[in-house]
Amino acid sequence: DQQVKQNSPSLSVQEGRISILNCDYTNSMFDYFLWYKKYPAEGPTFLISISSIKDKNEDGRFTVFLNKSAKHLSLHIVPSQPGDSAVYFCAASDSGTYKYIFGTGTRLKVLA
Amino acid sequence: KAGVTQTPRYLIKTRGQQVTLSCSPISGHRSVSWYQQTPGQGLQFLFEYFSETQRNKGNFPGRFSGRQFSNSRSEMNVSTLELGDSALYLCASSPEQGGIQYFGAGTRLSVL
């Protein structure tokens, strides 16, 4: 039972354009969400988070949107840069268990 | 501040053997979580330790076990290795339960 889904295994975007990575979840108890970026041979690196009391959080080029009614979150990267090419994971947890559930990842390729 | 350190980085074992992986969290972090990453499966949660106690457990067989020491360092043990245990094992630490998790580079285990 995959509670956190990233339905697009890969995405290609031109440099300078917007990258939109999507994540869906099924557990309505999830109240904290994170995005991580992973380069080959490295561990995931934290990018940005959002709690369920907000619907948007921004940090530089990265913005996360949360739609609780649709159980959907998205990560926007503007403008996209070649160095953003990596695998992106979304993760969700509920404050009752503190257990993080990760999606299967989306491989982003930013074309120069 | 030093990051999360995992040793060894690479391991090759044969079926039936056992293995112990080590994780040193960021100084001051008390929560340590372990994940298994295989192609197409994302990060699968193994277990979480906080203050030397296992607080959460994923859906893995009893062959997978762990512990945490008083200095927050953690070890993960897999007994009676199977071919399907070949994966990247990631450790993550956070200051408290439910906080942002910071990952190590992982230990890549190959079972032959």
Residue of A nearest to B3 (CA): A43
Indicate the average pLDDT of chain A: 94
Question: Is the N-terminal amide bond of B95 cis, ω within 30° of 0?
Answer: no
Share of chain A above pLDDT 70, in %: 99
For residue B35, the chain A residues in CB contact (below 8 A) are 102
CB crowding A41-74: b at 16 or more within 10 Å, else e: eebbebbbbbebeeeebeeeebbbbbeeeebebb
For residue B106, the chain A residues in CB contact (below 8 A) are 43
pLDDT value at position A97?
80
Q: Does A57 touch chain B (CB under 8 A)?
A: no
Taking the C-alpha atoms of residue A49 and residue B98, their distance in angstroms, rounded to an integer, is: 12
Let me know: does A87 contact A73? Beta carbons within 8 Å: no
- E strand map for chain B: 5-7, 10-13, 19-24, 31-38, 42-50, 53-57, 64-68, 74-78, 87-94, 102-103, 107-111
**HSE-CB of A112 using CA atoms within 13 angstroms:** 2
Residue B17: exposed, middle, or buried by beta-carbon count in 10 A (0-12, 13-18, 19+)? middle
pLDDT value at position B98?
79
Dump pLDDT digits (tens) for A39-90.
988 899 999 999 999 999 999 999 999 999 999 999 999 999 999 999 999 9
Task: Output the CA–CA distances (angstroms, integers) from residue A64 to A1, A78, A106, in the order listed.
Answer: 25, 11, 15
Unique residue bearing structure tokens 């041979």: A41
Question: Residues B66, B75, B101, B39: what is their CA dihedral angle, to the nearest 10 degrees?
Answer: -80
- Mutant choice from A8, A104, A106 vs B, greatest count of B C-beta within 10 A: A104
pLDDT(A1) > 70: no
Task: Output the CA–CA distances (angstroms, integers) from residue B44 to A65, A109, B6, B37, B63, in the order listed.
Answer: 24, 24, 18, 6, 15
Relative to beta strand A72-77, strand A19-25 is antiparallel
Measured between CB atoms, which of A41, A49, A104 is closest to B41? A104
pLDDT value at position A39?
93
At A57, the amino acid letter reads N
Share of chain A above pLDDT 90, in %: 90
**How does pLDDT run along chain B (112 residues), one tens digit per residue?**
679 999 999 999 999 999 999 999 999 999 999 999 988 778 999 999 999 999 989 999 999 999 999 999 999 999 999 999 999 999 999 998 878 999 999 999 999 9
Number of Cβ within a 10 Å radius of residue A81: 13
Across the interface, do A102 and B42 touch by the CB < 8 Å criterion?
A: yes
Q: Does A7 touch chain B (CB under 8 A)?
A: no
Number of Cβ within a 10 Å radius of residue B26: 18
Taking the C-alpha atoms of residue A30 and residue A94, their distance in angstroms, rounded to an integer, is: 4
